[in-house]
Structure 1
Amino acid sequence: MAKAVRTVPMGYGPPMEIGELPAPPPFNFRNFIRMIGVSAILISISIGSGEWLLGPRSVIQYGPALLWIATVATVLQTVFNLECQRYTLATGESIIPGLMRLWPGRWVWGPVWALICLLSVSPGWAASSATALAALHLGRLPTDADRGLVLVYGILAMLLVMLVMAFGSRVERTLARVSTFAVAFIFTSLIVLDLWLVPLEWWGRVAAGFFQFGYLPSGSGGGVDWTLIGGFAAYAATGGVLNMAASNWMRDRGWGMGSQVGYIPALVGGRKVEVSPTGKIFDLTAESLARFREWLRYSRWEQWTLYCGGCLLGMYLCVLLAVGLIEPGTPLKGNYDVAAIQAHAVSQVIGGLGWVWVLLIGFWVLWGTQISATDAVVRHLTDTLWSAGLGRWTRNDIRVVYYIIMAVITVWLAILFAYNPLTLVLLVANMAGVAFVLGGLTLLWLNTRVLPPELRPGWPSRLGLVLLSAFYAFFVYQTGQQVLRQLFGG
């Protein structure tokens, strides 16, 4: 006789089966290093348009004192990541299907989060990385006459995203390997260039900017570009639904109850994996609660040391190189002006190698963001549809859903290539602010009302989520107000 499956109600969604929470490896330095993965992917997104484009652009325009925004943003986003991961460790369910368990249910929250996801990905990163490739090809920054060449490189960059994500045993593992290489190359290059080229006085001035809390540019009217500052705030670490993907990648790594629900395998080299449409939760015993706390310990160490520290260091190194080579107040108009000026300045010191080196950094920064961000959005949409029962239409092979959505998103992004890359980056960056406002409050609701009391966050984490929503609400309000004035001439 088959053993009866026990279930428990979980919010406004389907009930969850009760499974067994596996024990994590004993906590020590060796095991901690072996389990690193999610933070590498997040840092590869972090060292992206926020650090390479928006951060330096904001500081050159308004001064290093603006960097306190990056400090607050990174700390609050770390709390947000941990609370997303808390839910997944407890249930094995990624966070957006979890949020669909809130009142009034999936038919309201599903479309809301699907729309936010679609507005949170753009080809701006691939287009900007294509600018770097075109500059390498031409030996100079491309002009309007070279738009065709940039478009070709941009389409190839997007196709390369699909190609890379198609191989391996599981998608998350391929992404982690690519991200680890990108992060190692970028950090090593930035450290060498900063030590070599940036005057010593800038090291202290930039560092001090991270602690000048409360500074904002004067003049709340047209003199302040709130679209730029709002985008910088949102992308100072990762950015909105991209942070939320930390729960998806954690599930696919098999952390906590994620090991009980399956993962998304790669198209080539992977095998069909049975993925549960719902999460699974564990019996609350002294042993299981001790295991849960140990999983949280791994998560906290990874987030507060590697993620939080890596994001702040990445912003510091990128801004340091920019302000050390570009005169503050220099007019910047093009989407790749900051990187181009840096590449030219470095080439003046070490010759053509400097031009190539800086452009390669820019390529890996921006293309690495494109691959991780695209996977994050495709993954969110896949999990949303899968939790709605789409498996019965695909013979329970989640790869069919993932790669169809990947293909559709790639075509959609190719259509958007006609628009200015910086405009696209700013659009999705400010949408990330909207995602944080809504996500912080709904995540608080989920983890304090749907999770059992024994698994709920303490007051510091609850306060952190409230502060996150309030922090980003300020920038969303300022940006929205400025955009409306520009549209209606107020």
Structure 2
Amino acid sequence: MTDAPPAKPPRLSLIGPGIVVAATGVGAGDLVATLIAGSRFGYALLWAAVIGTVLKIALAEGVGRFWLGSGRTMFQGWASLPGPGVRVPGGERLNWAGIYFGVYAVIWGFVYGAAAMTAVGLPLAALFDGTGLALDLKTWGMIAGVAGLGFVWVGGYGLFEKVMTALVGLMFVTVVGLAVLVAPDLPALMAGAWPTLPEGAAFYTLGLIGGVGGTITTAAYGYWLAAKGWRGEPWMRVMRWDNRIAYAVTGVFVIAMLIVGAELLHAAGVALSGGDRGLLDLGLVLEARFGRPIAVLFLVGFWATSFSSLLGVWQGVSTMFADFVGFTRGRTEGEGGAVAASKGWAFRGYALWLTFPPMLLLFVDRPFGLIVAYGVLGSLFMPFLAGTLIWLLNSERVPAERRNGWVSNGLLAAAALLFCVLAGRELWSLATGG
């Protein structure tokens, strides 16, 4: 635990929780969406990636500011909102927001567990194909799930942060290295910073803005700040530094993948599969053009991207669920932050829920459809998070000097509107099969 913030500008060695939340939110599916946007429209949507980065900075900053300003976890904030609810026998009154989170976490966790294990299994199956360690996708997925469970079960936050930072380093070397390798067209790249909307690009633009590291784990940022030992007003400046650097790094990831899509796929007219499978297609393209070593390096980066998301959810959402359970059992408000450092039965139970029941879904004939289902469920959470942050950060739950100004309100409102549109699109596509 860090006892006090530095008086001087924060050192890079302090940065950590922001890297964790950003790395967790950027999954393989986000990289595929960016690749497809680059392959179809070149650099024209670069500006959308920049806007997406700014919106995610605003969301995570709001979560961090609520924790540091109020001393309450995000779940405690949701539980304090007025409205209908029910009283849990032997515990607290659970309002509509608490009920929503509890039901959502159970359903989403079951689907996400299978999707995450599938995503990590894909590059492992490709890497070891034709070797003595060749295993099928299901087996690699189950190994990945158990590995994630074992890691969060026994490892503390400090080790977790170090491993996540190392995975981000692998992602950075791979993704940015590929962008350099394909030699970006710098004038076209600069031109893409000016907002334009090519014909047929509207939904790709919304998806690109919404896909820069945005998942339920954005709400876990406050818990990771607590686990780091950052509590109270003195840490506000450090938190903002941490958050901006982390999402700037993810913005670089997205821009680098847009470059790869524009330079490697756009000119050649190469089409990728949807979902995480598209990264396997890219691996084949890279092998044909640059040779097997580059393809292997890319698959390692693909694995780092997927496994960092898995670890972040296994740790972060399990912590949030433990906070939910503790509240329903009558925990007093002042004990909320302590849940970030605890690993009680609720934390371990949810981590088990993420791991073993979803393995049944790995035997579905079309496992890649799970990633689509996860996207639909995931899209429902971000409007809820943005909307409740506007509510909480304009209320007396935080000191007057830490409430939203017009910039924060505008960015959070834009995020809420964007994610409502994306959620509606996902639900419409599901209903119509389009």
TM-score (norm 1): 0.75
Residues 455 and 337 of structure 1, relative CA distance in 2, 3 Å threshold: closer
1:266-310 per-residue CA deviation (whole Å, 9 max, x = no partner) reads xxxxxxxxxxxxxxxxxxxxxxxxxx2x42211122222x12311
* Preserved contact between residue 24 and residue 256 of structure 1 (Cα < 8 Å): no
Q: Which residue number in structure 2 is paired with residue 199 of structure 1? A: 183
In the alignment, which of 62, 80, 87 is matched to residue 101 of structure 1? 80
Q: Which residue number in structure 1 is paired with residue 88 of structure 2? A: none
Distance 2:76 2:410 in 1: 23
In the alignment, which of 204, 212, 215 is matched to residue 195 of structure 2? 212
In the alignment, which of 330, 344, 351 is matched to residue 406 of structure 1? 351
* Preserved contact between residue 128 and residue 336 of structure 1 (Cα < 8 Å): yes
Taking only aligned residues, the RMSD between alpha carbons, in angstroms, comes to 3.0
1:151-178 per-residue CA deviation (whole Å, 9 max, x = no partner) reads 000000111101111233x2x3222111
Unmatched segments (≥5 aa) in structure 1: 1-21, 141-145, 221-225, 258-291
* Preserved contact between residue 50 and residue 232 of structure 1 (Cα < 8 Å): no
1:74-125 per-residue CA deviation (whole Å, 9 max, x = no partner) reads 2112111111111111233221221111012633221201233342634323
* Preserved contact between residue 38 and residue 260 of structure 2 (Cα < 8 Å): no
In the alignment, which of 219, 229, 232 is matched to residue 244 of structure 1? 219
* Preserved contact between residue 69 and residue 399 of structure 2 (Cα < 8 Å): no
Q: CA deviation at 1:469?
A: 0.8
Q: State the one-letter code of the partner of 1:133.
A: L
* Preserved contact between residue 129 and residue 366 of structure 1 (Cα < 8 Å): yes
1:12-55 per-residue CA deviation (whole Å, 9 max, x = no partner) reads xxxxxxxxxx98323324x4323211111123224422443222
* Preserved contact between residue 90 and residue 455 of structure 1 (Cα < 8 Å): yes
Unmatched segments (≥5 aa) in structure 2: 86-93, 333-338
Distance 1:434 1:237 in 2: 16
**Comparing 456-465 with 477-486, which one deviates more in the overlay?**
477-486
Q: Which residue number in structure 1 is paired with residue 335 of structure 2? A: none
1:415 corresponds to 2:360: yes
Q: Which residue number in structure 2 is paired with residue 150 of structure 1? A: 137
1:476 corresponds to 2:416: no
1:443 corresponds to 2:389: yes
Distance 1:320 1:114 in 2: 40
* Preserved contact between residue 74 and residue 308 of structure 1 (Cα < 8 Å): yes
Distance 2:99 2:59 in 1: 22
**Comparing 443-452 with 50-59, which one deviates more in the overlay?**
50-59
Larger Rg: 1
* Preserved contact between residue 194 and residue 320 of structure 1 (Cα < 8 Å): yes
Q: State the one-letter code of the partner of 1:125.
A: A
Distance 2:199 2:231 in 1: 45
In the alignment, which of 9, 21, 38 is matched to residue 42 of structure 1? 21
Please give the residue correspondences for 1:319-330 in structure 2 after superposition, counting only pairs within 5 Å: 319-327=258-266, 329-330=269-270
Distance 1:217 1:477 in 2: 21
* Preserved contact between residue 113 and residue 355 of structure 2 (Cα < 8 Å): no
In the alignment, which of 96, 100, 104 is matched to residue 112 of structure 1? 100
* Fraction of identical pairs, as percent: 18
Partner SS, residue 448 of structure 1: coil
Q: CA deviation at 1:386?
A: 1.3
Distance 2:432 2:352 in 1: 38
- Report how many residues are paired: 408
Distance 1:243 1:65 in 2: 28
Distance 1:205 1:418 in 2: 45
* Preserved contact between residue 122 and residue 413 of structure 1 (Cα < 8 Å): yes
1:316 corresponds to 2:255: yes
TM-score (norm 2): 0.84
